[in-house]
Each structure stands twice: as structure tokens, then as C-alpha cells.
């Protein structure tokens, strides 16, 4: 009996390890090619060509950029905190990757007669886990900026910390209103409540708008890229970084953009649900494994729309002043999210009577 339980545990650990490797690899590849598509989208919006030399249509340009970062000379400034200087970008990269652990990427697949869920950890506090990990990401910015022994980097790190704190509050309040409707913190339960039904965006359009604006600020994307305001701060909190340490910070931003898009698609747009398709009938006709593949493609398609919107906004809207950024967070989004939460609570209580 004990040996059979041990075998089951080994199978469980193996499938989770494979899931972790697959999701991390896919996230890194997507983040790498986000840089390519951002340059192509910027070129289209600005009536120029973009990368077109490295490989067909410039598709090898991200590989060339990655090789360049690996081959560049690595410089560590004269700082008494060399360990923290190295820890900063590592922490930013780690927290960016950890949030993918609770995302349901699809349904279940059949592997040698054993059902395997396309989710690393289906914990009952999935949303709280995401918020906890995302809030840890600011330490990567703070530690890196402080350990750089550069006043511009420190000022940018302080800006980044205050920005993240200011916009996490309305983001959390907008999700409280969503939780009134879903009644669960589990990501799989939130997706399951939207299958073959209206998506949560139908009930929470204002909550989604607040969440999306806060996601822009959390990812330091224009018009909220004040920690990287090169005209004021000489390039921002990672000014003293070079080689792959700088690459970790840049990759973390693109991974955060990808994961934020996945979270928005999961919470408000049905996650891996295939729009206008009865999953049960489709699963019976093509099989559970192919259905899971189509569900994952559906999720990636929704994410691609969000990523395009992130990039479109970056190359369209100018950067805010810092006082405008703070005013929007504290005087605009927080009151709106509180009003949205109170109205949602009142409607839910009224419908339960």
C-alpha cells in the first residue's frame, strides 16, 4: 500500500515538474517575442519598417538581442551592496514567473489513462497568491535602485514603490466587487463560473476598466512609466545595470505584461473558455486532449488582444507627470473602485432576497 502511494506521488510530482518547465519556457519565449511585436507595432503606428534584417521578416531579432545581452560586458558599480545589486533583478524575474503557477491554462488532458490538469496549483486562495507575489515584485525594483549607489536610480525606485502601492489599492478593491459575484478565490472556480455563461466583464465593466488601468501602472507601461522616465532620471532604476542583469529587468516587464493579460482574461473574459462554442459537444467530437489544446489557444488569443492593447497605448499616449499619476490613483481610481464595490454589494444582497 505504501509503495503504491509512493508511485502515485512520483507521478504527481513528475507531471507538475513538466507543467512548470513548459509554462516557464512558454512564458520566456512569449516575453522574448513580445519585444519583436512591440517594435513591429511601433513601426506600423509610426509608418516605418521595424526589424527586418535578422532572419525572415526579422523573426530572429529577439535571439540576436538576447545574444547581445549575454555577450555584453558586465559592470558592477562601486557599491557596498553587491549581493543586493545582484539580487534585485533576480527577484524581479522570480516574482514575475511565480504568478503563472495558479493560472488554469486549459481543462484536463488524458495521459496514459491518467487525467492531468493544465494548472500547476489549484489553491483555494489563487487571487490572493497572485496579489501577494505581485506585491513582492516591487522589492526587486527597490533593492536594485538602492543597491546601485546612484541617486537617480534610488529616486526611480522610490517612484516605482509608491506607484505600485498606490495602484494596488484600487486593483484590489475592483477585485473585491468581482468576488461578490463569483463567491470564490480559486482561479479554476472563477473560470468554471463563466463556462457557457456570460463573462464577468458583463457584470463588472467598471471593475475591469479599473483593473486594466492599474495593470498598466503595475507593469510600468506608458503612460505610467515614471520609474523609467529617461528625460528626468537618466533611464531609471536599472541605469547601472548591464548584460543579462539588465535583461532580467526588461524580461520581467514583458513577463508581467503577459501574466497581467492572462489574469484579466481569466477573471473577466472566461479564461480558457472558447467563445460561442459548447465545450462538451466539442470535446465528444474531437477528444479531451484536442479540446484542451483548443482551450489553451483560446486563452492565448485573448491574451494577444490585451498585449496588443498594451503596446497600442504605449505608442499613442504621452507619459503622465508624477503628480497626475498620483492624483489619478488616489483621487480617481480609489473612489471609483469603492463606489463600484458598494453598488455591487448592494445589488448582490438585493438579488439574494
The answer to the question of residue 341 being in a domain is yes
The confidence score (pLDDT) of residue 36 equals 92
Residue-wise pLDDT for 220-245, tens only, equals 888 888 877 766 767 778 888 888 88
* Alpha-carbon gap, residue 191 to 122, rounded angstroms: 12
- pLDDT winner (highest mean) among 40-44, 90-94, 294-298: 40-44
Residues 147-170 have a mean pLDDT of: 87
What is the number of domains present in the chain? Answer: 1
The answer to the question of residue 158 being in a domain is yes
Residues 32-49 have a mean pLDDT of: 90
Identify whether the C-beta of residue 247 lies closer than 8 Å to the C-beta of residue 23.
no
The answer to the question of residue 224 being in a domain is yes
* Alpha-carbon gap, residue 262 to 249, rounded angstroms: 20
Compute the mean pLDDT over every residue in the chain, rounded to the nearest whole number.
85
> What range does the domain containing 86 cover?
63-352
Helices (H), the chain: 2-45, 61-71, 82-98, 126-147, 151-182, 187-192, 205-218, 230-233, 243-268, 279-286, 288-314, 322-327, 334-352
Q: With 70 as the cut, is the pLDDT of residue 320 above it?
A: yes
The confidence score (pLDDT) of residue 1 equals 46
Q: CA–CA distance from 174 to each of 57, 138, 181, 334, 345 (Å)?
A: 41, 21, 12, 9, 12
* Alpha-carbon gap, residue 172 to 178, rounded angstroms: 10
The answer to the question of residue 240 being in a domain is yes
DSSP-assigned letters across all residues of 77-129: -S-S-HHHHHHHHHHHHHHHHHGGGG---SSEEEETTEEEES-S---TTHHHH
The answer to the question of residue 129 being in a domain is yes
Residue-wise pLDDT for 249-303, tens only, equals 888 889 889 989 999 999 999 888 888 776 667 766 677 778 888 888 899 999 9
Contacts of 1 (CB under 8 A, 6+ apart): none
3-state SS, residue 14: helix
Q: Cα torsion for 154, 312, 102, 291, to the nearest 10°? A: -160
* 269 secondary structure, DSSP code: S
The answer to the question of residue 24 being in a domain is no
The residue assigned the cell 501602472 is 217
Identify whether the C-beta of residue 269 lies closer than 8 Å to the C-beta of residue 199.
yes
The answer to the question of residue 321 being in a domain is yes
E-strand stretches of the chain: 108-111, 114-117
Identify whether the C-beta of residue 189 lies closer than 8 Å to the C-beta of residue 182.
yes
Q: Output the CA angle 319-339-197, nearest 5 degrees.
A: 90
The answer to the question of residue 216 being in a domain is yes
Residue-wise pLDDT for 333-352, tens only, equals 999 999 999 999 999 989 88
* Alpha-carbon gap, residue 125 to 130, rounded angstroms: 9
Amino acid at each position: 500500500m505504501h509503495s503504491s502511494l509512493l508511485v502515485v506521488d512520483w507521478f504527481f510530482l513528475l507531471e507538475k515538474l513538466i507543467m512548470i518547465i513548459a509554462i516557464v519556457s512558454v512564458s520566456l519565449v512569449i516575453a522574448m517575442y513580445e519585444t519583436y511585436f512591440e517594435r513591429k507595432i511601433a513601426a506600423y503606428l509610426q509608418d516605418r519598417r521595424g526589424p527586418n534584417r535578422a532572419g525572415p521578416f526579422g523573426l530572429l531579432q529577439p535571439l540576436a538581442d538576447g545574444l547581445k545581452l549575454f555577450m555584453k560586458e558586465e559592470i558592477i558599480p562601486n557599491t557596498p551592496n553587491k549581493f543586493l545589486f545582484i539580487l534585485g533583478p533576480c527577484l524581479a524575474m522570480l516574482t514575475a514567473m511565480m504568478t503563472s503557477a495558479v493560472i488554469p491554462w486549459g481543462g484536463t488532458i488524458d495521459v496514459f489513462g491518467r487525467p492531468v490538469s493544465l494548472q500547476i496549483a489549484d489553491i483555494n486562495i489563487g487571487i490572493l497568491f497572485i496579489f501577494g507575489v505581485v506585491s513582492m515584485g516591487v522589492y526587486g525594483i527597490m533593492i536594485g535602485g538602492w543597491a546601485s549607489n546612484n541617486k537617480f536610480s534610488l529616486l526611480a525606485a522610490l517612484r516605482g514603490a509608491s506607484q505600485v502601492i498606490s495602484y494596488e489599492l484600487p486593483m484590489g478593491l475592483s477585485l473585491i466587487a468581482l468576488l461578490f459575484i463569483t463567491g470564490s478565490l480559486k482561479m479554476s472556480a472563477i473560470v468554471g463560473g463563466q463556462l457557457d455563461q456570460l463573462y464577468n466583464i458583463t457584470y463588472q465593466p467598471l471593475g475591469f476598466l479599473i483593473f486594466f488601468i492599474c495593470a498598466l501602472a503595475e507593469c510600468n507601461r506608458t503612460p505610467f512609466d515614471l520609474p523609467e522616465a529617461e528625460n528626468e532620471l537618466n533611464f531609471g532604476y536599472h541605469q547601472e545595470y548591464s548584460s543579462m542583469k539588465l535583461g532580467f529587468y526588461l524580461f520581467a516587464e514583458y513577463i508581467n505584461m503577459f501574466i497581467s493579460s492572462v489574469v484579466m482574461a481569466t477573471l473577466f473574459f472566461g479564461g480558457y473558455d472558447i467563445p460561442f462554442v459548447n465545450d462538451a459537444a466539442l470535446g465528444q467530437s474531437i477528444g479531451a486532449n484536442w479540446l484542451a489544446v483548443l482551450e489553451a489557444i483560446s486563452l492565448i488569443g485573448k491574451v494577444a488582444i490585451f498585449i496588443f492593447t498594451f503596446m497600442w497605448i504605449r505608442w499613442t499616449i504621452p507619459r503622465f507627470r508624477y503628480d497626475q499619476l498620483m492624483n489619478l490613483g488616489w483621487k480617481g481610481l480609489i473612489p471609483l473602485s469603492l463606489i463600484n464595490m458598494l453598488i455591487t454589494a448592494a445589488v448582490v444582497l438585493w438579488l439574494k432576497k
